[in-house]
């Protein structure tokens, strides 16, 4: 493939997903400047390996690269953030079927939700962002995060329950 054609295909397939890439990186790193750096690094990697891209969904492919870039960076710079101890009281799921992320997003004050999301462990935060903010299916998230679909569902349920507890503890969600 000629370099000019490769660049045009990259721009058409991958560049439109810059906002989603930044959104995921921002939630994983919890810092705007780090997120910008991670997105830049991810786009460089995506361009470098673009000849290997054979898929139809450039968004999922790119977000996989963004995720991996962020996790590599987190391991090197903030290893304590990607290690979460399982706490039955915190991570257990009640039978309450309400979706706190959706409820909070519909409220007038999204800042409260942002702060609560920031408090979630990174592996919970990423599934909430990918599902509730980016609209990916469970299967797409499983492919991006490289875990079984059941694990995605479990993490999402635990993340939502934890998010609900955080919001209830603040008195922001009844």
Average pLDDT over residues 29-33: 93
pLDDT reported for residue 81: 58
pLDDT at 154 over 80: yes
Query: Above 70 in pLDDT, residue 103?
Result: no
Residue with tokens 């390996």: 49
Question: C-alpha dihedral over 91, 95, 97, 99, to 10 degrees?
Answer: -20
Q: pLDDT class for 87, splitting at 50, 70, 90?
A: very low
Distance CA 47, CA 36 (A): 16
DSSP state string for 32-52: HHHHHHHHHHHHHHHHHTGGG
CA distance 119 to 138: 23
pLDDT digits (tens, 9 = 90+) for 125-142: 999 999 998 999 999 999
């Amino acid at each position: 493939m000629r370099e000019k054609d490769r660049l045009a295909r990259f721009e058409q397939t991958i560049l439109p997903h810059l906002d989603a890439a930044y959104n995921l990186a921002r939630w994983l790193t919890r810092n705007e400047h780090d997120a910008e750096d991670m997105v830049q690094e991810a786009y460089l990697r995506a361009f470098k390996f673009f000849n290997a891209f054979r898929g139809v969904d450039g968004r999922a492919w790119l977000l996989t690269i963004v995720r991996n870039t962020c996790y590599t960076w987190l391991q090197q710079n903030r290893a304590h953030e990607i290690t979460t101890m399982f706490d039955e009281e915190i991570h257990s799921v009640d039978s309450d079927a309400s979706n706190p992320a959706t409820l909070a997003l519909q409220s007038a004050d999204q800042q409260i939700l942002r702060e609560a999301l920031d408090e979630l462990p990174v592996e919970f935060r990423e599934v909430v962002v990918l599902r509730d903010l980016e609209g990916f299916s469970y299967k797409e998230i499983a492919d991006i995060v490289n875990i079984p679909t059941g694990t995605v569902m479990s993490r999402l349920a635990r993340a939502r329950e934890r998010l609900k507890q955080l919001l209830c503890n603040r008195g922001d969600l009844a």
